[in-house]
Amino acid sequence: MTYELRLYEDTPYADEQFYLSSDSPRALYVSAGAIIVNSESKAQDEGLVSTTALNIRAGNEGATIWRWEIESVDNPSDPISIRSTLRLTGEIDLGSIGEEFLMRLDSVEFPPEGCALLHTHQGPGIRCLREGSIRIDTLGQSSSYCPGGAWFENGSNHVFAQADLEKTSRFIRAMVLPQALLGTSSIKYVNEDDKHKPKSQSYRVFSETAINLVERNN
């Protein structure tokens, strides 16, 4: 079975409630406002990864939620309401990752003029820019993103990232990785010399958890 990672944007009204089943591993990030998830409050700029059913209620000012779901490509996309939008999808090659998996939600921040030297990752992911701007160079092409812009990286392609030259830039990222990377970085630098150079980017892991994509479909 072929899987894909999907990024939705949900914008529930104030105090609106909705339910997410336990069918899919998912990550949630509160881009604006606040939510209550199974009685636990999540403020703006907080997130979680879950493999269980979730009852969600927006705060008294509503919310904007970035939601990543792992689904079979054969399953139609399922926005939770008319106030949900499918932003981006990307195929997951499980064979290139391994046999045991985790889902990670984190934040990557760059100071002005920061960059990520030429690198790959040990699994695919979808990024969404939170602040600043960033240029992504890969496969001989350059793409620039402003806040709210989203892009997919399959992990194996070489990538160079150049952040805004004048202000801090930050993106939020959900990835599917080998379970052995729990608590450790997924990045691999392409050039040997770059491995020992100072790195400008910093990381904040919101949540990560082991997921079982194979058994749940047997």
Percent of the residues in the chain that have a pLDDT greater than 70, as a whole number: 96
pLDDT grade for 213, boundaries at 50, 70 and 90: confident
- Rounded average pLDDT over 91-115: 96
Residue 218 has pLDDT above 50, yes or no: no
Q: Where a domain ends, among 92, 112, 141?
A: 92
Closest C-alpha among 33, 18, 201, 49 to residue 125 = 49
pLDDT at 215: 43
Quote the mean pLDDT of the chain.
Answer: 94
pLDDT, position 22: 83
pLDDT digits (tens, 9 = 90+) for 125-172: 999 999 999 999 999 999 999 999 999 999 999 999 999 999 999 999
Q: Name the residue range of residue 132's domain.
A: 96-211
- Does 85 lie in the same domain as 108? no
> Which residues contact residue 62 at a Cβ distance below 8 angstroms, ignoring those fewer than 6 apart?
11, 12, 13, 14, 16, 33
CA atoms within 13 A on the CB side of 57: 8
- Are residue 191 and residue 85 in the same domain, yes or no? no
pLDDT, one tens digit per residue, over 152-162 is 999 999 999 99
Residues 77 and 156 in one domain: no
How many domains does the structure of the chain reveal?
2
Give per-residue pLDDT as tens, 54-101: 999 999 999 999 999 999 888 877 667 778 999 999 999 999 999 999
- Nearest 10 degrees: Cα torsion 119, 179, 31, 44: -120
Sign of CA dihedral 135, 97, 95, 6: negative
Q: What is the CATH number of the domain that holds 66?
A: 2.60.120.10
CA distance 95 to 124: 12
Q: In terms of pLDDT, which residue wins out, 97 or 22?
A: 97
